[in-house]
Structure 1
Amino acid sequence: MYESSSELAENKLLMLYVLKSIKNPISNNQLTEIILENNFINYFTFQQYLSELEESNFVEYHEVNDKKLLILTKKGDNVLSLFKDRISPSKISITNEYIKEKIESIKRELTIHADYTLGSNDSFIVDLKAIENESLLMELKLSVPSKNQATLICNRWKENPSDIYTNIINLLIS
């Protein structure tokens, strides 16, 4: 069933509102999660709206540390400031609460990178990065013999990056 034009406008404005509220570029996946977990829009409609917002130059993707991240453009910010009152107060309240609860994990996802690729001799190359304020704090590449080890290292890095970073620095300094 098709939405009314006011619902369509409200949903697109809500997407712009989320981007403005987070105050940082975020991934498509993160924006999708925020919208879907709060049952605002279904996935396919969300992706269509996002594409339309991008075509209208209200949002755009930027490449940041090998990640494609969404930002609110000046044009999108202007539209939001003009029409923000069309977003229902309950949706704004739900969004604000959600962001307040999840902002630390959202930031961690943006600043911590961990993945692995198949290397030579059936080994795996693990690539770990820590980024702060768009500056690289640390990058570590390791060669490990098994996929299990590569996955374990990536998971541990994602779970506790600050302790691991601090331990590595302390080991190197002392």
Structure 2
Amino acid sequence: MSETFTLYKLIILYMLDKVDFPLTNAQISEFILNKGYTTYFKLQQALSELTEAELIWEETSHNRTLYHLTEDGAQSIQYFKNNISRSIREDIDNYLREKKYDLKNEVAVKADYYRNTSREFSVRCQVLEDELPLIDLTLSVPSEAEAEAIVTNWQKKNQEIYAWLMANLL
């Protein structure tokens, strides 16, 4: 059991080591659960333990959690990656190769909101490329429901909005 649970942690570290951007909880879960490696609850426990051990760190907003590899996590996976079978490493490599563009785009789009000093809500919408903002837009709205709607719609319509802004500003 302990050896198997360690494997789940190594898979997560290996995935994060193979990309140059963070992965969401949903992205990690999609791979591990679709392959049938473990259950959702064991996966969440593995993520929690890796975070507590400071091998990964999490960035949480209202609508998702992103996981980043720490320096200690990177050193650990370099030392222990051979404890992951070649076939599992190949599965991970293939998954990341096939989905890299979609995975990267998904985490490059960020939106979050918070209550501001005017007792309204500020919604920060971003599109990042190589961790630098292509667009960084903050809007103030009177209600939390409107803030949540903007966060949701930003995920769906950010490319359209960015193109519209560029066409109208240039």
Tell me the distance in 2 between the aligned counterparts of 1:52 and 1:126: 31
* 1:104 corresponds to 2:101: yes
Matches within 5 A, 1:44-123: 44-62=41-59, 68-113=65-110
The normalised TM-score by structure 2 is 0.73
Unaligned 5+ runs, structure 2: 115-121
Report whether the alignment pairs 1:130 with 2:127.
Answer: yes
Task: State the distance in 2 between where 1:159 and 1:63 align.
Answer: 19
CA contact (8 A) 1:18 1:95 kept: yes
Match of 1:41 in 2: 38
Alpha-carbon contact 1:114-1:158 (below 8 Å) kept:
yes
Q: Offset of 1:47 from its aligned partner?
A: 0.8
- Write out per-residue CA displacement over residues 31-65 of structure 1, whole angstroms, 9 at most, x where no aligned residue: 2223222222211001111111122221122469x
Residues 56 and 89 of structure 1: CA distance in aligned 2, closer, same or farther (over 3 Å): same
Q: Percent identity?
A: 30
Report the number of matched residues. Answer: 161
| TM-score normalized with structure 1 length | 0.72
| SS across alignment from 1:60 | strand
Structure 1: runs of 5+ lacking an equivalent: 118-124
* 3-state SS of 1:165 partner: helix
- Tell whether the 8 Å contact from 1:126 to 1:154 is kept in structure 2 after alignment: no
Query: Structure 1 residues 116, 73: closer, same or farther in 2, change over 3 A?
Result: closer
Query: Contact between 2:54 and 2:73, CA under 8 Å: does it hold in 1?
Result: yes
Query: What secondary structure does 1:22 align onto?
Result: coil
